[in-house]
Amino acid sequence: MTDYADIEGSIWLDGKMIPWRDAKVHFLTHGLQYAGTVFEGERAYGGRIFKLREHTDRLIEGARIMGYAIPFTAAQIDQACKDVLAANGLADGYLRPAAWRGSDKLGLSPAGASVHLAIAAWAWPSYFSPEQKMKGVRLTHSEWRRPAPDTAPVRAKASGLYQICTIAKQKAEEQGFDDALMLDYRGFLAEATGANLFLVIDGKLHTPIADCFLNGITRRTVIDLARAAGLEVVERHMDPSELALASEAFLTGTAAEITPIGEIGEHRYTPGAVCSLIIDAYHRVTHEG
């Protein structure tokens, strides 16, 4: 098991490149105590960070939603991401920018607290193994639901929103599954614990409306790729009973990339022509530009 605190390399922290093991914060850091960190997950292919500015803009907007401003411009953050990738000698890799309030003020109201930004990069293959992708991953149903927009900052990629995802995924793995499918607060289909959901129904690509969970950057990319390939894409609220109507299903996300689903509870799927089309199209856009 990798100890991510003990890796050879460099991390960009508050404007400086420092040794990986020196990138530390105090345990009374506000972001740790109150789960106010905002972060991104980014992938680099052949030395190019895919959709870098979109990720940076979402990071900045997430911080704004959480009530603080990142003390670096989008251009500075973009350059820092590129510098971190180069400093660690990576052409293909995963990047994790994160911003948080510091330890100079504690309590629920952190007004005036310092804001910090760090960026790390490391070699990280696909979220799911090639073997899992070949046969399709297995999902169970989670008892946790995505919260309503008026109960949580659902448009921010904030650490606190991932608490229920962590619980759900750990329980799924303990039961022998790869992941868990979550419903939203109304009982409609939502997403997996860290990836968006697509279903192929009657030759059309259906995906839940992202109105209470992140409208993922990979999700938006796949919608564009599918439409460009002539597929009809339908974004709508979907009842769980519609899982029985799908012939194919897959997950999308920066970490998951395009991952076919073989099973959701009692429902079985065989990755087919649509999965292959989207996987190929996504590989082309990420690797060839």
Which one, of 219, 197, 224, 222, lies nearest residue 278 by Cα?
222
Angstrom distances, CA of residue 44 to CA of 23, 81, 92, 99, 194? 22, 10, 5, 20, 19
Spot the catalytic one: 51, 82, 133, 157: 157
190 within 8 A of 197, measured Cβ to Cβ: yes
Residue written as tokens 């970490």?
255
DSSP E strand stretches across the chain: 10-13, 16-19, 38-39, 42-45, 48-49, 93-101, 115-122, 137-146, 179-184, 189-192, 196-201, 204-208, 233-236, 248-253, 257-264, 267-268
Domains of the chain plus CATH, in order, are 10-122 (3.30.470.10), 130-287 (3.20.10.10)
DSSP 187-198: S-EEEESSSEEE
Q: Is 157 a catalytic residue?
A: yes
Rounded CA-CA distance 42/244 in Å is 33
Per-residue pLDDT of the chain (289 residues; tens, 9 = 90+): 789 999 999 999 999 999 999 999 999 999 999 999 999 999 999 999 999 999 999 999 999 999 999 999 999 999 999 999 999 999 999 999 999 999 998 989 888 899 999 999 999 877 666 666 768 999 999 999 999 999 999 999 999 999 999 999 999 999 999 999 999 999 999 999 999 999 999 999 999 999 999 999 999 999 999 999 999 999 999 999 999 999 999 999 999 999 999 999 999 999 999 999 999 999 999 998 6
Output the pTM of the full model. 0.95
